[in-house]
Amino acid sequence: MANVSAAAPTLLADLGGTNVRFGIAHPQEDQPLIQESIRRYHVKDYPSLADAAKQYFKETGHEAQRAIIAAAGRIDGGETVKVTNNPWAISAHKLAKELDLEWVHLVNDFAAQSMAVMLMSPDKVVDKDGHHELEKVGTVDAPKIGAKDEQTFVVVGPGTGLGVGGLLIRGDKVSVLQTEGGHAGFAAHSPEDIEILKVLNLKYGRVSNERLISGQGLANLYTAICEISGQKADENITPEDITRRATDGSCPMCARAVETFAGIFGSVAGDLVLTLGAWDGVYLTGGMTPILLPWIQKHFRERFEAKGRFRDTMENVPTQAIMNPEPGLIGGAALAIVEAGGTPLRR
């Protein structure tokens, strides 16, 4: 990140393979992300990120002096990023010049989402169904970020892939871990896990957590469960089909797939707690988490806590589901606060 500078309107972008979301942050405000500024654009409709941003400025009339781009890819030297399934080649320096900005910062999307939780509240309602911005998974009370001088959190979530980040609080200093933890190897914990692993190993060779806990991972689980059960799988089924059929009860294999998904998700999240020493809590994010919340609330915690000699410890680790639809932009707003010399910590 750049040297600390005075607060100024900041363009935020949350960039994935299919869509890019833009918003404006005013870092000095109590609610820095301007809700009415948020717009979504299809990547395929624009030759570059700069072209999409220019269209955004034209349509909304908003202006910005700098930009923070949260991208679903590995940032190379803080200057370039290649987003999976996205044709745009992005250079921070070039983008700043094209948009006439002071600077552009590129960050991993899960680094942004890890920062976002500091601006979220379990009391804020975010949809017509009465869901809160942070929904409790399990019975352990939500953590208060900044309540202790040292805290470590995991942020993990399935979408197109499986993102893994970390949030570290050390006094007034906040830092994030940008990882590719979704590509860590899948660890089977039950006889069914072993059978699923065998099926996916024949198809992929090495099996990562992302092969199970992601959109395509849900389809992989469905196919594997059908094979193990001797049932014929629907070869054209999509993750959306699976969740819909599980919800309406029309497909027992789909129901079993989402239940298994939620359980393995818990197992993976628990392993991350052990790996990072994230005893202060886990935040579940990603596009699939709100959709699968009913199953997560039923099946996640048992496998999350089932860590042998560490079960007693894991039973006290809080888990929260992020239900706000814009964690990437909120995280970008938190980073804009840091850039302006402030802190998103709300003690």
Q: b vs e for 156-184, b when ≥16 Cβ sit within 10 Å of the residue's Cβ?
A: bbbbbbbbbbbbbbeeeebebbbbbbbeb
The closest of 55, 47, 53 to 13, measured between CA atoms, is: 53
Whether residue 41 is predicted with pLDDT greater than 90 in this model: the reply is yes
* pLDDT tens-digit map of 66-102: 999 999 887 888 888 888 778 998 999 999 999 999 9
Question: Which tens digits make up the pLDDT trace of 266-275?
Answer: 999 999 999 9
Report the alpha-carbon distance of residue 328 to residue 69 in Å, rounded: 9
Interatomic CA distance for residues 311 and 305, integer angstroms:
5
Q: What is the mean pLDDT of residues 120-147?
A: 91
pLDDT(103) > 90 = yes
pLDDT at 305 over 60: yes
The stretches of 132-190 forming alpha helices (DSSP H) are: none
pTM, to two decimals? 0.91
